[in-house]
Amino acid sequence: MRFGLRGVTTNRWLRECGLPLGVSDVALIQNGDHHRYSGLSTCGSGWVCPVCSAKIRFRRADEISRAIARAIEAGFGAVFVTRTIPHTAEDELRTTLGGLTEGRAWASSQKMVKMARAEAGFLGCITAKEITRGNNGWHPHTHDVEVFREPVTPTAYGKLSTEYFDKLNAFYVRNGHKPMAKGIGVKLDIITRDSDALGRYLVKLQETGVGLGNEMARGDLKKGRKGSLMPFDIAAYFLRTRDADVLKLWHEYERETKGKSVIRFSKGLRAELLPDEPEASDADLAADGDDAGVEVGRLANWLYRRVVAIGLEAAVLRSLDTGGFGALTELLTAYHLDTTGLHGPTREIGSAGVDNSVG
């Protein structure tokens, strides 16, 4: 997908994501049954890059689950809050995403919201923004985990629910958006040790990226079921059909998410919950995060650039995963690529009886 998007994206970082750094070779790293590259540039976009997004969201989800587990252990309260904005098929993403962002900020600054939060012992929140598209147009929404100094009582829950809804709704109406349906526009779900609210939240974080959830969403598409599309479903649909209207949607999504955070902790909350862990930026998370595995070979810079140019990046790794260096050599030869740029294996790999003379 990243190969396909390179040709049509308006994001210059995405165009360069996955290319070799400078003129150095690209290392092939084996970790268990899987291979990966090392020495590639990464764009670090959690919105538009299918590769970086998956890594960022996967690693943030892990970070968040540890933070919330710590909060629950410490006896804090935690509430899962979803906020949406009413929309029609004609609404531009700029309008609804902007309305949601401004509405959230405005509501948080209101005295009644501040009072309800203060009474409940509000510590901060972790916010994940999500954008999907359905028959009714763009559907931007946010998923927060709000953390409180103590477990949230039914009274506090009631006040928070009322104030969050009323203030956000008042902002929408005053700014020309449609009013929200009661009980639907804002939803609060208390997270306890036993509730599945957190699990659902973490699954959502990962579904927004590319992964199993995305594969399942695409499965739905094929069966013609109704449902909302994840942004990468839109990209995949365009790459299959080359439909210009769909590309317009993708470009609108690129434009409106540019420079916006995907998931973030409010000020001070991360330090409170994960004091011993240094904070990593999206770019850090997208870069080679782990040192696991051993280098089993290298592709010369020029050869890797040829591999990228014809969209074989994933196929190279798959061939190594399934058939080792023999399969990789076969693949490169089939595409008339010069295998003198393939070096390795630098040590015996797997059980396939690898030919060490390659390159």
Please say which residue, 210 or 273, places its beta carbon nearer to Zn ion: 210
Task: Closer to Zn ion by CB, 17 or 116: give it.
Answer: 17
H or E segment to which residue 147 belongs: strand 137-148
CB of 13 to Zn ion, least distance (A): 7
**Residue 175 has what DSSP assignment?**
T
Nearer residue to Zn ion within complex by CB, 29 or 52: 52
- In whole angstroms, the minimum distance from the beta carbon of 177 to Zn ion comes to 33
Supply the minimum distance, in Å, between the C-beta of residue 38 and Zn ion: 15
Rounded to the nearest whole angstrom, what is the least distance from the CB of residue 255 to Zn ion in the complex? 17
Residue with tokens 């909060």: 71
**Which residue type sits at 38?**
S
**CB of 172 closer than 8 Å to CB of 180:** yes
What's the length of the chain? 359
Within a 10 A sphere around the Cβ of 135, how many other Cβ atoms? 9
Amino acid at 225: R
Q: Which is nearer to Zn ion, 28 or 43 (CB)?
A: 43
The Cα–Cα gap between 285 and 262 comes to: 13
Please say which residue, 169 or 206, places its beta carbon nearer to Zn ion: 206
Q: Residues near 157 by Cβ (< 8 Å), separated by ≥ 6?
A: 79, 188, 190
Residue 209 Cβ vs Zn ion, minimum distance, rounded to whole Å: 12
Shortest spacing between CB 15 and Zn ion, in angstroms? 10
With respect to Zn ion, which residue has the nearer C-beta, 43 or 116?
43
Output the CA torsion 225→180→137→264 (10° steps).
-90
Q: How far apart are CA 183 and CA 90, in angstroms?
A: 24
Q: Which two tokens stand for residue 137?
A: 């147009």
Compute the radius of gyration of the chain from its Cα atoms: 23
Binding site for Zn ion (CB under 5 A): 17, 43, 49, 51-52
